Amino acid sequence: MVNVLVGLIGLGLVVFVHELGHLVAAKATGITVEAFSVGWGRKIWSFTRGETEYRVSWLPLGGYCKMQGEHALLRAWQDRSATINVEKGDFYAARPWQRILVLLSGPGVNFIFAVIVLAAISMIGYSTFSFPNRIVVADDFFPDPEAPARIAGLQSGDYVTEIDGREIASFRDLQMTVSQSAQRELTLTYRRDGVEESTRIVPALDQSTGAGRIGVFPWVSPVVAAVAPGSPGEIAGLQPGDRIRAVGELPVEHTVALEQAIRGSRRTTVTLQVERDGSVRETALVPGENEEGHLYLGIAYETMEIRSPDFGPLSGLAEGFRQSVRTLVLTVRGIGLLFAGVDLNQALMGPARITYLVGEVAAEGFRSGIGIGLLSFFNFLSLISITLFFMNLLPIPALDGGQIVLTFVEIISRRPLHPRLVYRYQVIGNVIILGLLFFAVFNDILFFARR
């Protein structure tokens, strides 16, 4: 329940910022705003200042900005009028460039919000945790001759040091670069036996997520960093600092080999050879399963801490803008991947699932501390905000982008468009939006039903 509440607050904040942009621009251009609501539905509390009623409504999911004369188009269509009858202060009474400014302001403020959030995160600084840039080729354990890593000639134990000129200092760097590069050829530099070499690699498209993958795991030495209370690892007597050397008589160099050696022995006792304080001892382990049916040992392994660079106010803003533009480019590329075989059932999410994910991301971060939780929460909000910026500017009727297209046509033709044309254009847009919303909500229902 707490996750859902956090998700509602987060998604509501992004939509509220969007509508606030419309409000400020409308007032600046002389358009009368009849009501501005935080939340939807029946109002709980309100006050009036000037010509605008400010409301707090019961459903905490964004809000809306109701401008005077918004229904003038519908009335003109119903009356079969050739023009839209307007009064001073109506939305359609404003000049075309003023309407475009109002329409742009919502998505524009979403982008500015993302820049400010990412700039603040950059200036405050943060730490992330990852594994080294050494890899295990998945094909060694899960045969796949078409795996990009195998085709590129990579081997388990290689250190990936650079991709397309970008330094790779950790496995997290590798994951981020590869996930954003599905079906794009990359130049990958790796170190093997002290010698650096380069190869070409094309990450495959993961159809369930749209991310790129090359078929590698991090090479993690099986050194115990922490043991969960009551877990199979604690029952077996494992302690932080222990180094697991073998499962039975089978030596293990990394955690992938360890888990594969144990995987076939769930609920069956296996013997581990464990090095502690320079001596090797044997202990019995009974593997368990988590709620999803995956192997569970209750063991955490050593990671490396990565501290973000220090940024001042100006450099932080520049970094926030750079990250926002990069996210926007990835969003556009992601839309393109929808036509490249991505599973729409997984890729298209509705409000319920987005709210759930916002809460989940925040909750997962808060488990590591308040700072990490806030970082995860606002980082994810910036991503949603940029996505909202891009989606709202698409030339789809009923969205801000579709309205902007109509207004540009009006400017070019130098005369108001016929209400019937505009209304039909908007009806088409509403049908498209309702269809997408229905599909997204249906996907949300299937998603929650499977959990």
CA distances from 321 to 262, 291, 326, 378, 427 (A): 47, 41, 9, 15, 36
| Token pair 């009335």: residue | 75
pLDDT at 411 over 70: yes
- Which one, of 216, 190, 185, lies nearest residue 201 by Cα? 185
Q: 431 is written with which tokens? A: 């049908």
Output the CA torsion sign for 356, 361, 366, 372: negative
Report which of residues 136 and 208 the model is more confident about. Answer: 136
What mean pLDDT comes out for the span 89-106? 89
User: Which DSSP category does 156 fall into?
Assistant: T
Least confident among 71-80, 89-98, 99-108, 279-288: 71-80
Per-residue model confidence (pLDDT) at position 446:
54
Contact 131, 218 (CB under 8 A): yes
Q: Is 340 exposed, middle or buried (0-12, 13-18, 19+ CB in 10 A)?
A: exposed
Report which of residues 208 and 365 the model is more confident about. Answer: 208
- CA dist., res. 53 & res. 68, Å (int): 12
| Token pair 């996750």: residue | 3
Q: 171 is written with which tokens? A: 């496995």
Range list of β-strands (E), 25-120: 33-49, 52-67
Would strands 216-218 and 135-137 be described as parallel, antiparallel, or unpaired? antiparallel
What mean pLDDT comes out for the span 351-379? 60
Report which of residues 432 and 95 the model is more confident about. Answer: 95
Report which of residues 423 and 96 the model is more confident about. Answer: 96
CATH superfamily membership of 224-292:
PDZ domain (2.30.42.10)
Q: What is the pTM of this model?
A: 0.77
Report which of residues 366 and 89 the model is more confident about. Answer: 89
Per-residue model confidence (pLDDT) at position 257:
92
Q: How many CA atoms lie within 13 A of 169 on its CB side?
A: 8
187's enclosing H/E stretch is strand 186-192
Q: What does the DSSP assignment read for 232-300? A: HHHHTT--TT-EEEEETTEE-SSHHHHHHHHHTTTTS-EEEEEEETTEEEEEEE--EE-TTS-EE--EE
pLDDT at 426 over 80: no
Residue 359 binned pLDDT confidence (cut-offs 50, 70, 90): low
Q: 24 is written with which tokens? A: 């400020």
Per-residue model confidence (pLDDT) at position 124:
84
- Residue 227 three-state SS: strand
pLDDT tens sequence across 202-237:
998 877 666 788 999 999 999 999 999 999 999 999
Per-residue model confidence (pLDDT) at position 360:
59
Per-residue model confidence (pLDDT) at position 371:
59
**Residues 6+ positions from 70 with CB-CB distance below 8 Å:** 91
190's enclosing H/E stretch is strand 186-192
Give the best-scoring range by mean pLDDT among 268-282, 403-417, 422-436.
Answer: 268-282
Per-residue model confidence (pLDDT) at position 363:
57
What mean pLDDT comes out for the span 379-405? 83
Range list of β-strands (E), 278-415: 279-285, 288-289, 295-296, 299-301, 304-307
pLDDT at 273 over 80: yes
Per-residue model confidence (pLDDT) at position 84:
73
Report which of residues 301 and 341 the model is more confident about. Answer: 301
Residue 264 binned pLDDT confidence (cut-offs 50, 70, 90): low
Contact 36, 66 (CB under 8 A): yes
**CATH class assigned to 130-217:** mainly beta
CA distances from 155 to 60, 159, 191, 204 (A): 52, 9, 10, 18
Radius of gyration of the chain (CA): 27
CA distances from 414 to 85, 95, 101, 409 (A): 18, 11, 18, 8
Q: What are phi and psi of 160, to 5 degrees?
A: -85, 120
- CA dist., res. 337 & res. 203, Å (int): 13
Give the best-scoring range by mean pLDDT among 26-40, 50-64, 288-302, 379-393.
Answer: 26-40
Least confident among 20-29, 94-103, 373-382, 428-437: 428-437
- CA dist., res. 231 & res. 228, Å (int): 5
Question: Does residue 19 carry a catalytic annotation?
Answer: yes
Give the domain ranges of the chain: 2-122+382-450, 130-217, 224-292
Q: Spot the catalytic one: 19, 162, 259, 319.
A: 19
- CA dist., res. 439 & res. 349, Å (int): 9
